[in-house]
């Protein structure tokens, strides 16, 4: 019997703006079909653009024993990891991926053969993909053998436990989003709110038309971000929410971060011990406790709003020029710059603070989960750049 008939479908990898009821089953499926294995870099082999991986333990299904060694298709993140591992320019790797798979194989296999003392951890999902029946799954990332795993399902459950111990519950999770590389969990506390008439004076929501002058309320929150593929540290970052439009102002300088590091792991497939996972999850619970006590207080929100007001009131007389400079300095695309300008005009707040609101409101229209977060997180920096330009 072939793998195509015995393998479960490869798990979905993305989900945007979901609730717990939708996110948890997906993370459980991903958890069940994860494989972590440490191998010498010299043994990496590409075949038709897929990584040929041996030494993976078979699994027992209702149809019998299913072999999991075989071809795993790299994601774009895994291709980026190959670029860094072997010193091959990423632009060249992507060109080979798109146009010359024979040269892709030759480059990966040639450079791998030259690696004599380096080991890597492969993070995989096994599963059948009807569009790629020759494969047994996907290669999500190629990481250091010192990478400390903190999986998304554990983060969500541990974060919720920590929130409950601090007096919050599942209702405080406003949404969760998942990309190939990151999980985002947005926590809000509408009961912890302050009046911000100065910061929201003259602002109007581009979505509803409601006035910030009539509803000048900002409430507390934070965002939990985690990566299973080496795309960043586990972090908890305060995030203020403008109630009139749900714009999120992320205060990156106050983030609590934990880097994913561990001791060197032995070669072979990894079976994570309960005490190792438990210690990591305990740390997440402590981070939640610290985040709730630090970020979800009226004193913190009031101080943060006061700080924002210092750079928010500079008049913007030449909106196109200001948005152009902001976009260049913060690496917004032409399309993003046009969208931000449109939101600035609709928002009606012709100040540097209005630029911040335009960036954070426009970010809500971005479909790509990671880019949406990146643009929202740049809102305060955009305000500061606009204030310098317009001054």
Are 157 and 130 part of one and the same domain? no
Are 379 and 301 part of one and the same domain? no
| Structure token digits, residue 129 | 């993909």
Are 296 and 180 part of one and the same domain? yes
Please write the tens of the pLDDT for every residue from 227-264: 999 888 888 999 999 999 999 999 999 988 766 545 55
Give the pLDDT of residue 271. 57
Please write the tens of the pLDDT for every residue from 82-98: 999 999 999 999 999 99
Are 113 and 163 part of one and the same domain? no
% the chain with pLDDT above 90? 75
% the chain with pLDDT above 70? 92
Residue numbers of the domain that contains 249: 152-309
Give the pLDDT of residue 283. 73
Q: What global pTM score does this model have? A: 0.91
Residue 265 pLDDT greater than 80, yes or no: no
Are 121 and 202 part of one and the same domain? no
Would you say 124 and 242 are in contact if contact means Cβ atoms under 8 Å apart? no
Give the 3-state secondary structure of residue 387.
Answer: helix
**Pick from 309, 344, 377: which residue ends a domain?**
309
Residue 374 pLDDT greater than 90, yes or no: yes
Which of 84, 76, 93 lies closest to 140 in space, CA to CA?
A: 76
By CB atoms closer than 10 A (0-12, 13-18, 19+), residue 326 is buried
Residue 270 pLDDT greater than 70, yes or no: no
Are 9 and 73 part of one and the same domain? yes
**Pick from 292, 309, 326: which residue ends a domain?**
309
Residue 52 pLDDT greater than 50, yes or no: yes
Give the 3-state secondary structure of residue 101.
Answer: helix
In terms of DSSP H, where are the helices of 167-268? 197-200
Are 140 and 197 part of one and the same domain? no
User: Is 336 or 291 the better-scoring residue by pLDDT?
Assistant: 336
CA within 13 Å, CB half, 191:
6
Give the pLDDT of residue 320. 96
By CB atoms closer than 10 A (0-12, 13-18, 19+), residue 263 is exposed
**Pick from 128, 144, 160: which residue ends a domain?**
144
Give the CA radius of gyration of the chain: 23
Give the pLDDT of residue 269. 59
Please write the tens of the pLDDT for every residue from 144-188: 888 777 889 988 988 888 888 888 899 999 999 999 999 999 999
Are 212 and 301 part of one and the same domain? yes
Tell me how far apart the alpha carbons of residues 357 and 344 are, in angstroms, rounded to a whole number: 7
Confidence of residue 2 (pLDDT cuts 50, 70, 90): very low
Tell me how far apart the alpha carbons of residues 364 and 83 are, in angstroms, rounded to a whole number: 32
Tally of domains within the chain: 3
169 CA to centre of own chain: 23
Are 139 and 269 part of one and the same domain? no
Are 140 and 60 part of one and the same domain? yes
């Amino acid at each position: 019997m072939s793998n195509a008939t015995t393998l479960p479908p490869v798990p979905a990898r993305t989900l945007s703006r979901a609730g717990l009821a939708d996110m948890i089953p997906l993370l459980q499926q991903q958890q069940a079909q994860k494989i972590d294995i440490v191998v010498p870099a010299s043994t990496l082999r590409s075949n038709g653009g897929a990584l040929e991986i041996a030494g993976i333990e078979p699994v027992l299904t209702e149809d019998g024993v299913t072999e999991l060694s075989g071809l795993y298709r790299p994601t774009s993140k895994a291709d980026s990891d190959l670029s860094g591992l072997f010193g091959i320019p990423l632009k060249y790797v992507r060109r080979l991926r798109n146009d010359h798979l024979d040269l892709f194989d030759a480059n990966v296999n040639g450079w791998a053969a030259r690696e004599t003392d380096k080991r890597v951890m492969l993070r995989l999902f096994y599963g059948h993909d009807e569009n790629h029946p020759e494969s047994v799954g996907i290669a999500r990332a190629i990481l250091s053998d010192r990478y400390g795993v903190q999986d998304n399902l554990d983060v969500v459950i541990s974060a919720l436990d920590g929130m409950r111990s601090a007096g919050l519950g599942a209702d405080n999770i406003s949404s969760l989003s998942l990309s190939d590389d990151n999980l985002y969990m947005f926590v809000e506390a509408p009961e912890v709110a302050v009046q911000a008439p100065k910061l929201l004076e003259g602002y109007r929501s581009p979505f509803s038309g409601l006035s910030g002058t009539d509803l000048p309320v900002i409430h507390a929150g934070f965002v939990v971000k985690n990566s299973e593929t080496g795309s960043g540290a586990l972090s908890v970052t305060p995030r203020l929410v403008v109630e009139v439009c749900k714009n999120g102002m992320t205060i990156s300088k106050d983030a609590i971060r934990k880097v994913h590091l561990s001791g060197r792991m032995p070669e072979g497939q990894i079976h994570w011990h309960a005490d190792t996972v438990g210690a990591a999850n305990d740390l997440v619970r402590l981070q939640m406790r610290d985040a709730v006590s630090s970020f979800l207080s009226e004193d913190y929100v009031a101080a943060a709003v006061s700080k924002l007001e210092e750079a928010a009131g500079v008049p913007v007389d030449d909106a196109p020029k200001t948005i152009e400079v902001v976009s260049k300095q913060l690496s917004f695309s032409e399309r993003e710059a046009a969208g931000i300008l449109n939101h600035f005009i609709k928002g009606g707040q012709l100040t540097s603070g209005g630029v911040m609101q335009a960036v954070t409101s426009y970010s809500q229209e971005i479909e790509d989960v990671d880019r949406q977060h990146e643009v929202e997180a740049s809102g305060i920096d955009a305000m500061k750049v606009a204030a310098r330009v317009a001054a």
